[in-house]
Amino acid sequence: MKQWDAKLYDHAHRFVSEYGQSALALLNPQPNEFILDLGCGTGDMTQQLYEQKVKVVGIDNSKQMIMQAKEKYPDIHFEIKDILELDYDSQFDAVFSNAVLHWIKQPRQALKQIYASLKTGGRFVAEFGGQDNVQKVTNCLIQTRKELGYAFDESSFPWYFPSIGNYTSLMEHVGFKVVYATLIDRPTQLKGDDGLRNWLTMFAKHFYTDMSDQDKKEMLSRVQETLSQEIFHNNEWIVDYKRLRIKGIKVKT
């Protein structure tokens, strides 16, 4: 189970849910539908679904995120649940997920669980990091690790950033009919001098958890200094996000 700072997430990274509006429009939720919000975080998009008169369940593998979601939105049902261990059987009209599936490095298993959760004819809509997402940042993190004397094993890379072809092939293998897929360039603003450091603290811990406190501090300082020459403009960081947005239909049980 991943450990998340839910308060930092809400304070400095609200753009995650704000950028999910286009994916929500692709979902096109209808009143009285039963929808699963997969990886709901602190519940902001779950609340938007709730406001559209759907019956919604929000799940996340983080206890901290779910606790904060329940505190913010007590009228919504939230559960701590692992995407790879879903126990739903043809229950939902739709499964929605925003900014989550790039954390799941077993995509075929995740897709099987999602497929099993849907009613026949149900739809799966998701947006998450795609091919070459945040590449400038990750290249700098890996290079700085090496400069500080720490090896980098590709298998320890924390994310799965697939191409359109890779992910839609997996969807089709599981049984989905893919009806929409696009890869979007989305330069993303991290405001203020500490914007990048907040992002690294929130999302990139895998790159420095094995370091001494001194080396961790040096790592973050070097990465910030190096990238400031390239992606810091007008008091904000512009990170090279690339998002894969997809929609699939469960065509049979």
Residue 1 lies in a domain: no
- Answer whether residue 16 shows pLDDT above 60: no
CATH number at residue 83: 3.40.50.150
Opening angle at CA 19, ends 13 and 20, nearest 5: 110
Q: Mean pLDDT across the chain, nearest whole number?
A: 91
Reported as a pLDDT band with limits 50, 70 and 90, residue 10 is very low
Looking at residue 222, what is its pLDDT? 97
- Total domains in the fold of the chain: 1
Q: How many CA atoms lie within 13 Å of 167's alpha carbon, on the beta-carbon side? A: 31
Please enumerate in sequence order all residues whose Cβ is within 8 A of that of 193, keeping only pairs 6 or more positions apart, or say none.
Answer: 235
* Amino acid 18: pLDDT: 59
pLDDT tens profile 27-80: 999 999 999 999 999 999 999 999 999 999 999 999 999 999 999 999 999 999
Rounded CA separation 185/167 (Å): 17
Q: How far is CA 154 from the centre of its chain?
A: 20
* Residue 42 covered by a domain: yes
Q: Which amino acid is at 76?
A: I
Contact between residue 206 and residue 103 where contact means Cβ atoms under 8 Å apart: no
**Residue 118: inside a domain, yes or no?**
yes
What is the per-residue pLDDT for 202?
85
In a domain, 170, yes or no: yes
Residue 77 domain flag: yes
Task: Give the pLDDT of residue 9.
Answer: 45
User: What is the spatial distance between Cα 38 and Cα 61, in angstroms, rounded to a whole number?
Assistant: 10
Is residue 17 domain-resident? yes
pLDDT value of position 212: 95
AA letter at 56: V
Q: Report if residue 60 sits inside a domain.
A: yes
Domain hosting 119: range is 6-250
Place of tokens 């998340």: 4
- pLDDT above 80: residue 177: yes
Span 123-139, pLDDT tens digits: 999 999 999 999 999 99
Q: Could you say which DSSP state residue 21 is in? A: H
Tell me the mean pLDDT in the region 144-156. Answer: 93
